[in-house]
Amino acid sequence: MPAQTDISDSILEVPPPRRRRRRDWTGLLYVAPALVLVAVFFLIPLGMSIWMSFHAWPLIGVPRWIGLDNYARLWGDTSFWSALVFTIQYTIAATVGLLGVAFVLALMVQGEGRAIAFYRTAYFLPVVTGFASASLLWAWLSNVDAGLFSPLAQDLGMTDGRVNILATFTPAFWSVTIMVIWKMAGFYMVIIMSGLQAIPTDYQEAARIDGASWGQRFRWITLPLIRRPFALALILAVAGSMLAFDQFYIILNGGPQNQTVTVVYRIFNESFVSFRLGYGAALSVVLLVILLVLSVVQLWLLRDKGDQS
Amino acid sequence: MNRIGDNATVTAGLSLKRVHKSFGSIEVLKDINLNIKGGEFVVFVGPSGCGKSTLLRLIAGLEEVTAGEIIISGRDVTDTDPSRRGIAMVFQSYALYPHMSVAENMGFSLKVARRPKDELRRKVEKAAGTLRLTDYLDRRPGQLSGGQRQRVAIGRAIVRDPDVFLFDEPLSNLDAELRVEMRIEIARLHRELGNTMVYVTHDQTEAMTLADKIVVLRAGRIEQVGTREELYDDPDNIFVAGFIGSPKMNFFSARLDGGEIEIGGHRLPGPAVKTLSKGEITLGVRPEHLRLAEKGEPFFPFRVKFAEFLGGATYLYGDVGDGALCTIASDRKTQAKAGTELRVMADPKFMTAFDDKGVRVR
Ligand SMILES: Nc1ncnc2c1ncn2[C@@H]1O[C@H](COP(=O)(O)OP(=O)(O)O)[C@@H](O)[C@H]1O
Ligand SMILES: [Mg+2]
């Protein structure tokens, strides 16, 4: 039987695809609500902050254009830089703690069954409490007289007399960090858990047959395959910690000796205590740039090296 | 144990003794007993959900037996770790590690065993050569076609140099043409490697073409074990008779009476049955054993509903007097329009009889 003749050689011209303009506009209509939201709650405030940062902007009175003066002043502002150093220190502690604990929790609640579902919920529960209420609870627990930790440590004979854990930097810092881990680990657990569940069990079984121990499977199968959700968790944890404010404001009030003032705390003080709104805006813009750079670096570090080939 | 090829390597056998498997209160496998000789190609075949994969996973050690013993190469491996059973498995999904190259996938077992780099490279290259994958060693599984992925999965198994290969429906994700090609490739591998292979499929054609020994499973039980000829020519029960062979065997309600049978009021010479002389039976006749009756020969009527011309053969689909569906494989000379009534018959030696429980009566 003769094969079907091939006509591809004899085609001279292909008619141009018809344009469908109306469709283009309908598409825009569908994304319009999202665009409006992004504009109203992100782009416009961002533009206003940048605009304000070029002014001396008091709460009452007329703003005055001062160009880059705010940024020049920021360069020599040691209180800002020490706040930044403290924030980075806190970010490292909180991120390592959060992701480490979240990983362990996610591995623990991976299976199925009623008890596991209960634990999953229990670990997630603190996430839905507000940061302010959690901080208030912790401030009370940490109170030297009326709280739990100090009297308990004394009653158990771990300390001689009452020790005020909020009075010195190290215990105060770790107390807040542990509170944050307690409150937020469940959130990162869910992200990592979803990554773990997306790994087909076949891979683990194939690796078991290949003779890989639990540790080898974790290192060579699990870790590489949850890189994407892990990158998400890392970026959220770093950004969240860099923006820390409530817990240090409520529990420690920036103390002891102003050692726990974070960058956002400084911005808050400049803008709403000293009412230097223009300078506060300049600090916000710098923080935004720092966060942007950090996120890009993290994405680059966690990129899939094989994807480019 | 038997000897394969002229290097006379002794390959491993596999035995299952009274194996049971339950998931919770559901018994999925019931009293499985099976002996597989070293170097044999054994196919587990059965409808989906009958427990084939579970049985294979028990052999692999990915599931624990509820009761019974598994013996590989004369060694009781019932409680042994999967990696120490001397098996390698090819998964239905291939289960290739997506973040590793073809070479890394194939060499993973050696890497975790901390074997020297040059041994790893040598073994991977050898397996890749056998499977025509040499040009793809640096690719990721995502950059390969279905057939190539399949070969990588087999390559990963070969590199482990196992006593027993386990395949779980390895061809079900391929298109029809590739499936035939890979079937031939797997048969070639078995000839070249000479290992014991256990292969799971729901497709009786794959079973018939590949197996030295076929194990037919249904609802967690072994229905029959035998060579393809044994299963085809001499099925133990109506399930095996209907499952093996394409198109399916025809079944008619019939009355056995002495040496004769009666189908829809027509009497014709019946099968030789020693254990039963009179009674209701189900008569089984394969499509290719039904033929047109010569003048004067006994017959039963067959009404053609439609005919399928396949070149070498023509399949006639229709029904017999009492309404039972029937297929006849005939040569291309038989031209039959829908509605035609034909006189057909079969040689008694090609008739099989089953009792009311579906068990073969001989
Ligand atoms: N992990 C499991 N838990 C509960 N039931 C299972 C599990 N695995 C398989 N089964 C059940 O066992 C039966 C056999 O499954 P399977 O061996 O996968 O069948 P096949 O491979 O023959 O299609 C099915 O009814 C299935 O639902
Ligand atoms: Mg299966």
Find out whether the peptide bond into B82 is cis, omega within 30 degrees of 0. no
The secondary structure element, H or E, covering residue B125 is helix B117-130
Ligand nearest to the CA of B218: 1
CB contact under 8 A, B113 and A205: no
Instruction: Pick the residue from chain A with its C-alpha nearest to B94.
Output: A202
Which regions in chain B score pLDDT beneath 70? Answer: 1-11
Closest CA to B29 of B68, B3, B84, B83: B68
Q: Where on the phi/psi map is residue A7: left (φ > 0), alpha (ψ -120 to 50), or beta?
A: alpha
CA distances in angstroms from B253 to B274, B303, B342, B351, listed in the order given: 19, 17, 19, 13
The residue ranges of every structural domain in chain A are 2-52, 78-308
Residues of B in contact with A213 (CB under 8 A): 112
What does the pLDDT look like over B149-190, one tens digit per residue? 999 999 999 999 999 999 999 998 888 888 998 999 999 999
Identify the DSSP state of B275: S
CB contact under 8 A, A209 and B82: yes
Question: Cα–Cα distance between A270 and A277 in angstroms, integer?
Answer: 7
Closest CA to B167 of B156, B180, B178: B156
CA B288 from chain centre, in angstroms, equals 21
CA distances in angstroms from B49 to A196, B165, B220, B236, listed in the order given: 27, 22, 9, 22
Beta bridge partners of B309: B314
Closest CA to A247 of A192, A186, A174, A151: A174
Question: Cα–Cα distance between A309 and A4 in angstroms, integer?
Answer: 39
What residue spans of chain A are helical by DSSP H? 21-38, 44-53, 69-75, 78-108, 114-124, 131-141, 149-155, 169-197, 201-209, 214-217, 223-225, 227-242, 246-247, 263-268, 277-301
Residues of B in contact with A309 (CB under 8 A): 138, 140
pLDDT score, position A18: 61
> b/e for A10-40, b at 16 or more Cβ within 10 A?
eeeeeeeeeeeeeeeeeeeeeeeeeeeeeee
Residue A131, pLDDT above cutoff 70 = yes
Instruction: Pick the residue from chain B with its C-alpha nearest to A216.
Output: B112
Sequence-distant (≥ 6) Cβ neighbours of residue B117 within 8 angstroms: none
Residues of B in contact with A304 (CB under 8 A): 99
Q: Where on the phi/psi map is residue A210: left (φ > 0), alpha (ψ -120 to 50), or beta?
A: alpha
Interface test with B, best of A202, A209, A221 (most B CBs within 10 A): A209
Kindly provide the ipTM of the predicted complex, given to two decimals.
Answer: 0.84
pLDDT score, position A4: 46
More confident residue, B7 or A272: A272
Q: In degrees, to the nearest 5, what angle opens at C-alpha B201 toward C-alphas B179 and B221? A: 170
Say what the pTM is: 0.80
What does the pLDDT look like over A57-70, one tens digit per residue? 888 888 889 888 88
pLDDT score, position B9: 44
Beta strand B14-23 with B26-36: parallel, antiparallel or unpaired? Answer: antiparallel
Residues in chain A: 309
pLDDT score, position A305: 67
Cβ-contact B258, B278 below 8 angstroms: yes
Question: Cα–Cα distance between A229 and A195 in angstroms, integer?
Answer: 6
Question: How much is the mean pLDDT over chain A?
Answer: 86
The secondary structure element, H or E, covering residue B269 is strand B266-269
pLDDT score, position A156: 85
Residue A302, pLDDT above cutoff 50 = yes
DSSP B159-202: HT--SEEEEESTTTTS-HHHHHHHHHHHHHHHHHH--EEEEEES
The secondary structure element, H or E, covering residue B45 is strand B41-45
Beta strand B250-257 with B278-285: parallel, antiparallel or unpaired? Answer: antiparallel
Identify the sign of the CA torsion B157, B159, B165, B171.
Answer: positive
User: A218 CA to chain B: closest CA distance, Å?
Assistant: 12
On whether any CB of chain B is under 8 Å from the CB of A216, the answer is: yes
DSSP B81-93: -GGGTTEEEE-TT
**At which residue do the structure tokens 């902050």 appear?**
A49
Pick the residue whose CA is nearest to atom 2 on ligand 1: B23
Residue A5, pLDDT above cutoff 50 = no
pLDDT score, position A114: 83
Residue A240, pLDDT above cutoff 90 = yes
Cβ-contact B250, B326 below 8 angstroms: yes
According to CATH, the topology of domain A78-308 is: MetI-like fold (1.10.3720)
User: B128 CA to chain A: closest CA distance, Å?
Assistant: 18
Percent of chain A whose pLDDT exceeds 70: 91
CA distances in angstroms from B108 to A178, B61, B151, B188, B317, listed in the order given: 40, 19, 16, 25, 53
pLDDT score, position A121: 87
Question: Cα–Cα distance between A89 and A261 in angstroms, integer?
Answer: 12
Identify the DSSP state of B25: T
Closest CA to B199 of B135, B185, A283: B185
More confident residue, A136 or A162: A136
Residue A243, pLDDT above cutoff 90 = yes
Beta bridge partners of B344: B292, B300
pLDDT score, position A17: 61
Instruction: Pick the residue from chain B with its C-alpha nearest to A306.
Output: B99
Residue A16, pLDDT above cutoff 70 = no
